[in-house]
């Protein structure tokens, strides 16, 4: 077992144990805080697939996060008001069904966005993904049917068969299991033939093309898969807050997802998890000390980017497995 694997297991155990202890002590607030960590980590796992493995600096993943959230919000609202969605299809409050819709919507939207954006590279790619996310953001703001600028409230948290999702702990466990499944999927993808091709595309697209694998296709598939995972996280996030609004689509959200990955360690399996734990803790601790916590968060982030390359896992477990 490498040092990184040991740290990963420790992080997973911590993330599971702390909320269980908090729930046992009757502190539901900390369970909710841990759920926030888990859901943000899941969103960043999605981004890590594109950014860490594929080297695709998407600055627009908030779009998929928000679309997943809106999928949950819209389906739940229609079910709540007993109005059919369209063509007689009813809304739903069943989480597994909502997740499927969120994943599908995020993937379907990511396909054209990826197909256009991936024609470009470097800074263009960053700005184009950002611009597409802003397009969806402005659409959400100016489209009044689902709350517009005010967003949508989900009055009752959606249901999961056999569990009481209104309680913080069962909902945390659901999210935790989903996160672990996503991490497993990430590991499987990383080790697969496709994963090798994707990492080769990051390192040198021309060489990959020379051995007969088109980098564009590999990147596009990675981008879509990445959006799907982030979309799923969006649905969970909406249910966590019982609210979805344009802020989930804003470019600050895209920036935060990138920050999570950098804090934890880019391209590492548990990078997003470590990043989300640090970020939420910072937010909570700094937020408790000062109203101006964003100022200090910015300073800390700046320090990490400038002086601690490789993030938290890089500091603890030495050289990355890939360069």
Partner 1 sequence: MFTALLIEQLLNGLQLGVMLFLMAAGLTLIFGVMGLINLAHGSLYMIGAFACAVVASATGSFWLGLIASLAAAAGVGALIEVAVIRRLYDRDHLDQVLATFALILILSEGARWLFGSFPLYLDIPKLLQGAVPLPGGGQYQLYRLAIIAVGIVVAVGLYLLISRTRLGMRIRAGESDREMIAALGVDISTLYTVVFALGAALAGLAGALVGALQSVQVGMGEPVLILAFVVIVIGGIGSIKGALIGAVIVGVVDTMGRFLLPSLLALTMPAAQATTIGAALASMLIYVVMALILAFRPSGLFAAQS
Residue 286 binds partner 1, judged by CB under 8 A: no
Angle among Cα 96, 101, 106 to the nearest 5 degrees reads 125
How far is residue 52's CA from residue 261's CA, in Å, rounded to a whole number? 8
Helix/strand number for the chain, H first, E second: 13, 4
Residue 298 binds partner 1, judged by CB under 8 A: yes
Among 97, 184, 295, 308, binds partner 1 (CB under 8 A): 295
Residue 217 binds partner 1, judged by CB under 8 A: no
Among 85, 209, 221, 301, binds partner 1 (CB under 8 A): 301
Among the residue ranges 15-23, 68-76, 118-126, 180-188, the one whose residues contact partner 1 (CB under 8 A): 118-126
How far is residue 240's CA from residue 260's CA, in Å, rounded to a whole number? 19
Binding mask 236-275 for partner 1 (x = CB under 8 A): ---------------x---x--xx--x---x---------
Residue 119 binds partner 1, judged by CB under 8 A: yes
Among 32, 35, 134, 199, binds partner 1 (CB under 8 A): 134
Place of tokens 């702390």: 18
Q: Write the DSSP assignment of 104-172 as a string of letters.
A: HHHHHHHHHHHHHHTTS-HHHHHHHHHHHHHHHHHHHHH-GGGTGGG-EE-SSPPBBTTB-TTSHHHHH
- Burial label for 271, CB within 10 Å (0-12, 13-18, 19+), is buried
State the minimum distance, in angstroms, from the CB of residue 181 to partner 1. 27
The residues in 30-59 that bind partner 1, with binding defined as CB under 8 A, are 51, 57, 59
Residue 128 binds partner 1, judged by CB under 8 A: yes
State the minimum distance, in angstroms, from the CB of residue 51 to partner 1. 7
Encoded tokens for 159 = 């249901």
How far is residue 207's CA from residue 217's CA, in Å, rounded to a whole number? 15
Q: What are phi and psi of 50, to 5 degrees?
A: -75, -45
Among the residue ranges 63-71, 128-136, 200-208, 226-234, the one whose residues contact partner 1 (CB under 8 A): 128-136
Among 187, 207, 217, 292, binds partner 1 (CB under 8 A): 292
Among the listed residues 190, 273, 261, the one whose alpha carbon sits nearest the alpha carbon of residue 225: 190
Residues that bind partner 1 (CB under 8 A): 51, 57, 59, 116, 119-120, 122-124, 126-128, 130-132, 134-135, 138-139, 141-144, 251, 255, 258-259, 262, 266, 292, 294-295, 297-299, 301-302, 305-306, 309
């Amino acid at each position: 077992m490498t040092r990184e694997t040991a740290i990963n297991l420790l992080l997973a155990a911590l993330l599971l144990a702390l909320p269980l202890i908090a729930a046992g002590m009757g502190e539901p607030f900390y369970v909710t805080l841990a759920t926030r960590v888990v859901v943000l980590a899941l969103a960043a796992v999605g981004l890590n697939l594109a950014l860490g493995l594929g080297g695709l600096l998407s600055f627009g993943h908030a779009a998929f996060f928000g679309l997943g959230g809106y999928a949950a919000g819209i389906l739940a609202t229609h079910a709540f008001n007993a109005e059919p969605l369209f063509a007689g299809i009813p809304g739903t409050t069943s989480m597994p069904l909502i997740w499927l819709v969120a994943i599908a919507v995020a993937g379907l939207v990511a396909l054209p966005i990826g197909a256009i954006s991936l024609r470009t590279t470097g800074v263009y790619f960053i700005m184009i993904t950002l611009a597409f996310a802003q397009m969806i953001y402005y659409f959400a703001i100016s489209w009044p049917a689902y709350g517009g600028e005010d967003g949508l409230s989900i009055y009752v948290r959606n249901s999961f068969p056999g569990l009481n999702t209104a309680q913080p702990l069962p909902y945390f466990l659901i999210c935790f299991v989903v996160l672990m499944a996503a991490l497993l999927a990430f590991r499987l993808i990383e080790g697969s033939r496709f994963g090798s091709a994707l990492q080769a595309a990051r390192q040198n697209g021309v060489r990959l093309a020379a051995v007969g694998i088109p980098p564009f296709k590999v990147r596009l598939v990675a981008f879509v898969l990445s959006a799907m995972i982030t979309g799923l996280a969006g649905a969970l996030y909406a249910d966590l807050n019982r609210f979805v609004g344009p802020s989930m689509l804003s470019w600050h959200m895209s920036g935060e997802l990138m920050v999570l990955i950098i804090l934890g360690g880019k391209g590492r399996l548990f990078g997003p998890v470590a990043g989300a734990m640090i970020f939420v803790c910072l937010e909570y601790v700094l937020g408790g000390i000062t109203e101006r916590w964003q100022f200090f968060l910015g300073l800390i982030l700046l320090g990490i980017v400038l002086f601690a390359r490789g993030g938290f896992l890089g500091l603890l477990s030495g050289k990355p497995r890939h360069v």
